[in-house]
């Protein structure tokens, strides 16, 4: 074995010994709910396709039509020749939805965060991040070269303390948080966070990957906090929107600067036209179908009520089991009943908090939600 291969095998062996090994499992998704894995049909509670739009006929038709008109790929970076005509329409729609002046669409949410944060923070600056914020916020913060400080999850007092400690020495400061936390399903107190940020002359970026299309009538988490001042509204087109891509909404000059300087926009090929067209069609569905938008939260609340858990705040409900082995065992038991809930283990979540992360979507029949609650109940008592 050469040394690189030996290194890889030793790392894998170590992960396996800790029940932290992972692997890809081919999954055929028939719609937002039914999947086939390993020859078995199951109901998935692990897709972020909250509104089932990845398989919506109008969304698929828009993607197909865009391929016919503009081809399968963008052909170049958006700054070269990849800025096909659908981009402007999508950015206008997103800006409108977020009551912002302008928007910029990226290749993915991860690319967006890795590009936005270094556009506004660099060496000598300060980035303050909720400790449970998504991995790509951390990636962008570290990439920026700024000082990066964590504050305790949703703890506005700790945020204020961290800013009081580090703000003065920094050039400018950026506070970033998820709107809805991806592995916990809780919501950031954006009004209080915004107030503290302003008191310390810090900017605020909110990553609303799991709020868009689900909360605030589809507009996202910020709609629940009308008094919050949010400088950068970031999100993804890959969850409730059902396709692929990321975005940020802000003032026109902020967006103009991002389009000039964000390296994950400048030095990468534009999204395929089909993805942009699909997102536009998905936003039409969200605007036209308030009942679909309301459904994921209704399903998650039906589930938490059935189990006597604190009322769900979003479409995501965590069942924290602690040890990685416990999460694996619980997920295997659910799978045996035809319910797919992928276990989430460190490093995606902090050590000792392995969990079932349950995501509810508009297409889940109430009967399936109730069946899941019955199947999860025995695991709560342990």
Ligand X SMILES: *Cc1c(COP(=O)(O)O)cnc(C)c1O
Q: For residue 311, give both structure tokens.
A: 């009322």
Q: Is residue 130 within 8 Å of 151, Cβ to Cβ? A: yes
239 is annotated as an active-site residue? yes
In the residue annotation, 98 being an active-site residue is answered as no
Q: Judge whether 182 counts as a catalytic residue.
A: yes
Q: How far is the CB of 124 from ligand X (least distance, A)?
A: 26
Q: Find, among 315, 309, 375, 300, the residue nearest to 339 by Cα.
A: 375
Q: Which residue is nearest to ligand X (CB)?
A: 109
Tokens 């605030």 identify what position? 216
Residue 108 Cβ, how far from ligand X at the closest point, in Å? Answer: 4
Which CB, 160 or 208, lies closer to ligand X? 208
CB of 137 to ligand X, least distance (A): 7
Reference 221, options 361, 96, 91, 98; nearest CA is 98
The gap between the terminal CA atoms of the chain, to the nearest Å, is 44
Q: Which helix (H) or strand (E) holds 380?
A: helix 366-380
Smallest distance from the beta carbon of 229 to ligand X, in angstroms?
Answer: 20
Query: β-strands 102-106, 126-130: how paired?
Result: unpaired
Give min distance, CB of 242 to ligand X, in A. 12
Among candidate residues 56, 162, 210, 299, the one labeled active-site is: 210
Residue-wise burial string across 301-334, b where 16 or more C-beta atoms lie within 10 A, e elsewhere = bbbbeeeebeebbbbbbbbbbeebebbbbbbeeb
The smaller minimum CB distance to ligand X, of residues 109 and 218, is found at 109
Q: Which of 46, 54, 144, 182 is an active site residue?
A: 182
Residue closer to ligand X (CB basis): 209 or 214:
209
Residue 134 or 167 with smaller CB distance to ligand X: 134
Contact, 341 vs 46, CB < 8 A?
yes
* Residues at the interface with ligand X (CB under 6 A): 108-110, 134, 136, 178, 182, 207, 209-210, 236, 238, 246
The catalytic position among 239, 299, 314, 364 is 239
Instruction: Specify the residue, 182 or 194, whose C-beta has the smaller distance to ligand X.
Output: 182
**CA–CA distance, 60 with 189 (Å, rounded to integer):** 36
The residues carrying an active-site annotation are 182, 210, 239
């Amino acid at each position: 074995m050469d040394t690189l291969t030996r290194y890889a095998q030793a790392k894998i062996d170590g992960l396996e010994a800790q029940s932290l090994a992972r692997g890809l499992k081919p999954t055929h998704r028939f719609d937002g709910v039914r999947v086939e894995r390993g020859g078995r049909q199951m109901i998935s509670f692990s897709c972020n396709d909250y509104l089932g739009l990845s398989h919506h006929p109008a969304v698929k038709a828009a993607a197909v039509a865009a391929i016919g008109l503009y081809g399968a790929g963008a052909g170049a970076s958006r700054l070269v020749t990849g800025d096909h005509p659908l981009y402007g329409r999508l950015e206008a729609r997103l800006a409108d939805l977020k009551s912002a002046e302008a928007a910029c669409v990226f290749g993915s949410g991860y690319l967006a965060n890795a590009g936005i944060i270094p556009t506004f923070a660099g060496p000598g600056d300060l980035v303050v991040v909720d400790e449970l914020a998504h991995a790509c916020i951390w990636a962008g913060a570290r990439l920026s070269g700024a000082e990066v400080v964590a504050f305790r999850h949703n703890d506005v007092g700790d945020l204020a303390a961290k800013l009081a400690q580090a703000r003065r020495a920094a050039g400018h400061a950026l506070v970033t948080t998820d709107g809805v936390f991806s592995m916990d399903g809780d919501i950031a107190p954006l009004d209080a966070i915004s107030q503290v940020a302003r008191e310390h002359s810090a900017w605020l970026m909110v990553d609303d990957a799991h709020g868009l299309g689900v909360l605030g009538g589809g507009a996202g988490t910020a709609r629940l906090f009308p008094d919050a001042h949010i400088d950068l509204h970031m999100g993804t087109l890959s969850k409730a929107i059902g396709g692929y891509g990321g975005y940020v909404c802000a003032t026109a000059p902020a967006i103009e600067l991002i389009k000039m300087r964000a390296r994950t926009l400048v030095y990468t090929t534009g999204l395929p036209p089909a993805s942009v067209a699909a997102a536009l069609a998905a936003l039409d569905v969200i605007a036209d179908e308030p009942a679909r938008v309301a459904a994921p939260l209704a399903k998650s609340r039906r589930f938490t009520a059935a189990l006597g858990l604190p009322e769900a705040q979003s479409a995501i409900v965590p069942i924290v089991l602690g040890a990685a082995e416990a999460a694996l065992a619980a997920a295997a038991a659910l799978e045996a009943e035809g319910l797919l809930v992928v276990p989430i283990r460190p490093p995606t979540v902090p050590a000792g908090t392995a969990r079932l992360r349950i995501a509810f979507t508009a297409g889940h029949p109430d009967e399936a939600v109730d069946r899941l609650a019955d199947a999860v109940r025995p695991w709560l008592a342990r």
